Structure 1
């Protein structure tokens, strides 16, 4: 019941963000400030405090790298097979991308940190960094290729080099691997900032959700939901069980890869010729439906 209560609280904060946006309290300027606080301060703090006392060898294993790669590209391949016959390239590209592109930073890692112990959170931080390096370029390539839109892959890759999430992960793993001692006061302060990651991120996601859409393609949206929050975590469970990883790795990967579609996919779709209304609807529906599926996943793996 504690897990259910936590997820229901997550839903309340998420809907609060949407309500504040609709009422005008969270306008574009204030939402941007909240996003900046979450993305540049709270989330990096959470990643650092989860990894600064861990050696990289204890977190990043061959099994983890192989398993995450297999799950990501297998889901993307399955999504391409399922959605390849959709007549509109704009809708087809969005459906494929949103079937695998996970909300790891704003929902996955904060949720893991609030629900599980430090060992699971540390591995989830590595999953966040590793998957980001693959799913972001893959999403840009697929959207630009299918829609015939121009995209500067070099710019996206350079953006990854300055990504605060990845930088904080590298710094945390570096400190842990070198055995550098972090003063207790500093660690406590960073821990407090990291605790703000989940509520800030949920408000930002809620404020970013677009609820208005004139037409709903129930079959297409239902397929995206099924692939993203049902098929992908089940595939992760099967792959990592076959790899015989430890319980912390299994828990971290299954929950992280079971998160809903990332809000960033709507941004990419808007700039690379995708169906914006369809993308917005899918983000909203997968996020709401994930409250139920994440409860099941957390109950089973926890």
Structure 2
């Protein structure tokens, strides 16, 4: 328990600090957009490349992790799609764009939080495990989210392959996982200078990412949350990790693997959900509310899941 709280306390503190920095105007609002861009396109990819390139993958059940994490995403996405018509009715009353907000917020994980938890609890092994989960999940959730936006949020009925596939194959997190894994599997080592550069860049990723998460929280939107906001919390942070726990235990996994892969399924949704909604005709305001609610709920839910997973 003490170990769990010690690992989560700095994460929560940085998120709160980020919220205070934005709400109190300690830094100009123009700071956050380039900071998020640099984190997503430069700092976090550097961390993932360095972590996967050095990770000892030989003893890890990579295939099992891929199957469990990707399979859970498919199950949740299919369940949400099948429930779309029911969710049009009260009390949910979700139209197409609003439904895509829920869809994204029940399948997209916030990798920033996962990496911070993994590093805090299991060190380099935890970062490597989270990187494996990221490689399994991020391409899939990007593709499924794009297809959902095109199906439910668009009215022109057109589905271009560029819109569906290009965002997936050009995603910096996906590319960095591929590069890191390729270096690892090749048996090569990172040159010392390159490793040092990646370490410096990667060191900036998690603090800046957590500050940006806090800056994105909008407490004012949570005064009267819609029923769908509570549904997003329950589906993403209760049902999905419960399924993950069962699947991982059934696969015979335990220890750090169970903890890291299990908590990956319990994460609040990714801020990428908001960007996708804004660019592709979704309900961006509802996404922002769901993201804020899930992030705040995570302060209570994640420690409970970590205790269930045996991380404390």
Q: How does 1:41-52 map to 2 (within 5 A)?
A: 41-52=42-53
Work out whether residues 109 and 268 of structure 2, in 8 Å CA contact, stay in contact via their aligned partners in 1.
yes
Whole-angstrom CA distance in 1 between matches of 2:200 and 2:119 = 13
Instruction: Extract unaligned runs of 5+ from structure 2.
Output: none
User: Residues 22-60 of structure 1: CA distance to partner in whole angstroms, max 9, x if unpaired?
Assistant: 233444431122113322332122212222123665556
**TM-score normalised to the size of structure 1?**
0.88
Work out whether residues 53 and 179 of structure 1, in 8 Å CA contact, stay in contact via their aligned partners in 2.
no
Whole-angstrom CA distance in 2 between matches of 1:2 and 1:190 = 28
Equivalent residues, number: 301
Work out whether residues 109 and 270 of structure 2, in 8 Å CA contact, stay in contact via their aligned partners in 1.
yes
| Equivalent residue, structure 1, for 2:144 | 138
| Equivalent residue, structure 1, for 2:198 | 190
TM-superposed CA distance for 1:11, in Å, is: 2.0
Work out whether residues 100 and 227 of structure 1, in 8 Å CA contact, stay in contact via their aligned partners in 2.
no
Whole-angstrom CA distance in 2 between matches of 1:92 and 1:162 = 26
| Equivalent residue, structure 1, for 2:165 | 157
- Computed over aligned residues only, the root mean square deviation of the Cα atoms, in angstroms, reads 2.5
Whole-angstrom CA distance in 1 between matches of 2:222 and 2:53 = 48
TM-superposed CA distance for 1:66, in Å, is: 1.6
Query: What SS does structure 2 have at the residue aligned with 1:8?
Result: helix
Query: What SS does structure 2 have at the residue aligned with 1:99?
Result: helix
Work out whether residues 59 and 126 of structure 1, in 8 Å CA contact, stay in contact via their aligned partners in 2.
no
TM-superposed CA distance for 1:282, in Å, is: 0.6
Instruction: Extract unaligned runs of 5+ from structure 1.
Output: none
User: Residues 198-232 of structure 1: CA distance to partner in whole angstroms, max 9, x if unpaired?
Assistant: 21101112223334439734422111101111111
Whole-angstrom CA distance in 2 between matches of 1:121 and 1:186 = 19
**TM-score normalised to the size of structure 2?**
0.85
Is residue 2:280 matched to residue 1:279?
no
Is residue 2:204 matched to residue 1:200?
no
Q: How does 1:37-186 map to 2 (within 5 A)?
A: 37-54=38-55, 58-59=59-60, 61-81=62-82, 84-86=86-88, 87-89=93-95, 90-104=97-111, 106-149=112-155, 152-155=160-163, 157-184=165-192, 186=194
User: Residues 142-197 of structure 1: CA distance to partner in whole angstroms, max 9, x if unpaired?
Assistant: 12212234665514522333332222222222222222233456534533432322
Query: What SS does structure 1 have at the residue aligned with 2:107?
Result: coil
